Amino acid sequence: TDDDIDTVFAPELPGLERSQIKHWYNGYRWGGQDVTAVYNPFDVLLLFQKRQFGAYWFESATPTFLVEVLKQRGVFTPALTAWHSRPALLSRFDVDDIATEALLFQTGYLTLKGVREEVPNRPIYRLGFPNQEVEASLNEALLPVLGLSDDALDELILKLPGLLKVADMAGLETYFKALYAGLPHDWYRNNPIARYEGHYASVFYSHFAALGVKVTVEDASHHGKVDMTVDFAGHLFLFEFKVVEQLPEGSALEQIKAKGYADKYRAQGKPMHLIGVEFSRERRQIVAFEVENVHC
């Protein structure tokens, strides 16, 4: 727990940023939303030994089986940030007939984030990633499933942070168009998720999440709708995604403005960039990348 870190391990803390230890390794809950969250002890002990942050638990065993299951089920990756489930589903142990959320929960990739009762004594659990390590590492492992090559992963680390730091919108548009142009045609033929908005939003979300930046998903429905905010280097980037075969061009940016998505962030005083991204299912590419900059 936090108390254990601050007392038992107090001699190990100098030289390490305390808030980052929590951000990277805390967040596991099993007994209800009011139960104290706990740390991954494997990670914490290796952090104190090596004196640098790393995905120690995730890298100890590549979750090949898990990634393959998520691939076969065409999981919409933004939904992993806020998955809802009945308690009964989470307790099933038949690996041949196990719900996706139960598999992720039992293996430690999702944890309990909240509980609500629409009907008395019938709780619904809200699940999500416990911490930075799990969200970034699992999404990085899923990028090849979404069709991204090793070269795209290198570009992610080497190029994207620089574009975000200076809010280079033209460069960002070029970057993402090149990314989608690199998705193999065989991938589209073999994956039904490519038929709708979910695939494009999954690539965007998992791409940023794998980088380790702060990503907030506003609507993580299993049907593919997502409004996404990226907070990085003193800037806020608000994304809305549309498929032009479903809605007319120009609707993505207009929806951000019409629904006032930026309003709740104005008090932060950070420059905001409203970005409407529109895809064509037929052309398999971004066909509109409209930007409006807002300075608070």
Confidence of residue 58 (pLDDT cuts 50, 70, 90): very high
Q: Could you tell me if residue 167 is left (phi over 0), alpha (psi between -120 and 50 degrees) or otherwise beta? A: left
Q: In the predicted model, what is the mean pLDDT of residues 170-189?
A: 81
- According to DSSP, residue 39 is labeled -
Burial degree of 236 (CB within 10 A; 0-12, 13-18, 19+): buried
Of 19-33, 120-134, 143-157, 212-226, the range with the lowest mean pLDDT is 212-226
Given a cut of 70, whether residue 226 has pLDDT beyond it is no
Contact predicate 251/277, CB 8 Å: no
User: To which H or E segment does residue 178 belong?
Assistant: helix 169-181
Nearest to 85 by CA among 73, 69, 96, 101: 101
Helices vs. strands in the chain: H and E counts, helices first: 14, 8
Q: Provide the percentage of residues in the chain whose pLDDT is more than 90.
A: 42
What's the confidence (pLDDT) of residue 195? 53
Mean pLDDT on 209-227:
75
Tokens of 127: 């699940």
At 97-149, the pLDDT tens digits run: 788 888 898 889 999 988 888 778 788 888 999 999 999 999 999 998 888 88
DSSP readout, 128-155? E--SHHHHHHHHHHHTTTTT--HHHHHH
Pair of tokens at residue 218 = 């506003």
- pLDDT number for residue 94: 74
Q: If we measure between CA atoms, which residue out of 45, 2, 54 comes closest to residue 24? A: 54
pLDDT at residue number 122: 81
Cα–Cα distance measured from residue 172 to residue 170, given in angstroms and rounded to the nearest whole number: 5
What gap in Å lies between CA 191 and CA 147, rounded to an integer? 10
- How many Å apart are CA 45 and CA 51, to the nearest integer? 10
Residue type for 230, please? V
Of 33-37, 88-92, 187-191, where does mean pLDDT reach its minimum? 187-191
Secondary structure of residue 101 in the 3-state scheme: helix
Q: State the amino acid at position 27 in one-letter form.
A: G
Report residue 137 as tokens. Answer: 């590492």
Evaluate whether 58 touches 134 at the Cβ level (below 8 Å): yes
Average pLDDT over residues 273-285: 85
User: Using alpha carbons only, what angle is made at residue 131 by residues 126 and 135, rounded to the nearest 5 degrees?
Assistant: 85
Q: Element (H or E) spanning 258, and its range? A: helix 251-258
Task: Indicate the burial class of 228 (C-beta count within 10 angstroms; 0-12, 13-18, 19 or more).
Answer: buried
Give CA–CA dist 85/108, Å, rounded. Answer: 15
Domain coordinates in residue numbering, the chain = 1-141, 143-294
